[in-house]
Amino acid sequence: MARVVVIGAGLGGLPAAYELRHALPREHQITLISNQLKFTFVPSLPWVGLGLKSLSHIQLDLNKTVPQHGIEFIHAAVTAIDPKLRQLTINDPGANGAVTRVLDYDYAVIATGPELALDAIPGLGPEGGYTQSVCNPHHAVLAGKAWEEFLADPGPIVVGAAPGASCFGPAYEFAFLLHHVLQQKGLRSRSATSKRSQVPITFITSEPYAGHLGISGMNNSRWLMRKFMADREIELMENTAISHFEPDAVHLADGRVIPSKYTMVLPPFRGPRFLREAPGLTDAKGFIPVLPTYRHPDFESIYAVGVITQLKAVEQTPIPTGAPKVGLMSEEMALAVAHNIALELGVTSGNHYQPTLQAICFADFGNTGALFLADPLLPDQSGNRRRALTYHGIWVSWIKAIFETYFMTKMRLGWTIPWFERWGFRAIGLPLVEPVTPRAERIQVKV
């Protein structure tokens, strides 16, 4: 019997645990470890931050849901990992205080998601700083409370992404949703030519241009984002670095100061401390290098899924930006990793699999929305992709709301990507995984 431990129960970890349970006979134990008691559908957090949806609507109780599907659930924080000994040190919270214990494993799938690097810029973050974020449930709730206080005494707003950020979509979504809400409350003009808006909005991004999204070459996204900004009277500041924050202002690296009574800026990401402290496990930022199979190049027992994986962008930008890892990519990684572990355990035969890293992102902008499809996520060395499509319309907002319900249903039922969803992706030319050639199995991923 093998014990496969999945660390993290987010958009990558919970699907990975489910797919492992489907791939492996019951004689093999699947253990899911999370320092959170609830699964959260993170793409909906911008709605929570603006009071458009309750947090409970997008959460599941892991302690009740996970064991129903033949998976052991441990609510604990992992404080150390030893890939050589194949051991985890975990801190179990309990009624009589936390208990530290060591857990042995045969395989570990690391799907922790990121740690927010709030110390990257002075004043960044809602706790000990002056900015909001919608990167985790706690911060989204704090953003919602700050938003209610702001509405009682409105003023200028800044939304954006800090240098080193890698997930830009939520910033655009938040800015346009915010405009839509303020417009409904009579605090923003409905006319593109009017200058009577009581609440000026500035969008500051470290991207070389709006719509770059950390991946470049997304068809008409540059034109579309600029048009949306202009139509909504949002001042756009591209290729701009923020130096620090104060309670009522955002300071830029070039010395300019932008007044702000409500600031939502996405921070850079890094790997959790326990991963960074494990010798040879991660890069300098705490992200895990992987082979095409999504196994660690040096530790055969370690696989990785989701945001914690290392993806090296092919393009250098004037201000550092990272490459995003969207939810579909995490599911693709989960499919590949579960198959590859089953192959290693002799449960199945054939080739190893690798995720195709095709990305689809839905964003709700209030009275419209945008869909981005990158196939694959990052272009090749010549800057080409098979497909790079951007669509917009109110139907995208509807699809995002429907998809949220569908995804939450999948997580309740213990599904990752059921057969009909896989068939649908194949029908539109988007296979989620593909065989790895023997020659490529030892080549580190540098997409």
Active site residues: 167, 361
Would the CA dihedral through 297, 32, 37, 81 be positive or negative? negative
Residue 210: exposure state from Cβ atoms within 10 A (0-12, 13-18, ≥19): buried
Which 3 state secondary structure label does DSSP give 250? Answer: strand
Check: CB of residue 98 under 8 Å from CB of residue 82: no
Place of tokens 């509405």: 151
Check: CB of residue 242 under 8 Å from CB of residue 250: yes
Ramachandran category for residue 287: left, alpha or beta (phi over 0 → left; psi -120 to 50 → alpha): beta
User: CA-CA distance, 85 to 62, in Å (whole number)?
Assistant: 28
CA 8 to chain centre: 13
Alpha helix ranges (H) inside 249-326:
273-276
Q: How many CB atoms lie within 10 A of CB 123?
A: 20
Specify which residues 327 forms β-bridges with.
Answer: none
